[in-house]
Chains A and B, each alone.
Chain A
Amino acid sequence: QSALTQPPSASGSPGQSVTISCTGTSSDIGGYSHVSWYQHHPDKAPKLMIYEVSKRPSGVPDRFSGSKSGNTASLTVSGLQAEDEADYYCSSYAGSIYVVFGGGTKLTVL
């Protein structure tokens, strides 16, 4: 069970859009629609931003969107705001209640 692959960093200016990729295999991302994304600010609890590939929990701005193609999932943040600066982690169900996370992407708002 290997970690999902994310770029270590991403950046954008306020108002711009940024997309973070998350690559897995047919045993996790490619095999299920159970991809989720978490926002993590330092010293805080991770926060669920996207679940089931593209669904947003109540309270998450619609600037956050998710998608999946084959073994790769993506998180897009539109209309970047300063408070979006954080680490973002993807996660996928991998069968039999096994869960795998990505290595994380540090999003910087320039």
Chain B
Amino acid sequence: QLQLQESGPGLVKPSETLSLTCTVSGDSISSTSYYWGWIRQPPGKGLEWIGNIYYSGSTYYNPSLKSRVTISVDTSKNQFSLKLNSVTAADTAVYYCARFLQLGPKYFDYWGQGTLVTVSS
């Protein structure tokens, strides 16, 4: 059974960098059929796609966040990571990692439980 688990600091100061890691178990992150993505949900708001990464390192970002986001992959650890710099209170959200089927049908089929990141001094 595929599982994804987000980890990282729950509190980040304004102007600093938010860093999260998603550990994948039950499947290889090097699978050629899938991308791996980050999605967030600010309190009281809807889901917002942040970006996707392929095991080769190819990345695709939400244009509204592109200037501040970096997603990377570590195939040796079966992990992928999110970095969001220059954070403000507006970046406070529950952050989810998920698997994205890319070949043919396109959708997120497995999600992590999510981790709350609060931006505050």
A residues touching B (Cβ–Cβ < 8 Å)?
1, 3, 6, 32, 34, 36, 38, 43-48, 51-52, 55, 57, 89, 91, 93, 96-104
- B9-17, B83-91, B101-109 - interface stretch: B101-109
Closest to B60 in A: A97
Q: How far is the CA of A10 from the CA of B37 in the complex (A)?
A: 29
B residues touching A (Cβ–Cβ < 8 Å)?
35, 37, 39, 45-49, 52, 60, 62-64, 96, 98, 100, 102, 105-109, 111-114
Of the residues B64, B98, B106, contact of A34 by C-beta under 8 Å? B106
Closest to A52 in B: B105
CB-CB under 8 A from A91, the residues of chain B are 47, 49, 107-108
Question: A97 and B102 in contact (CB under 8 A), knowing A45-B113, A89-B47?
Answer: yes
Do B113 and A34 touch across chains, with their CB atoms under 8 A apart? no
B110 to chain A, nearest CB (A): 8
Question: A46 and B102 in contact (CB under 8 A), knowing A1-B64, A91-B107, A91-B108?
Answer: no
Do B111 and A45 touch across chains, with their CB atoms under 8 A apart? yes
Do B60 and A104 touch across chains, with their CB atoms under 8 A apart? no
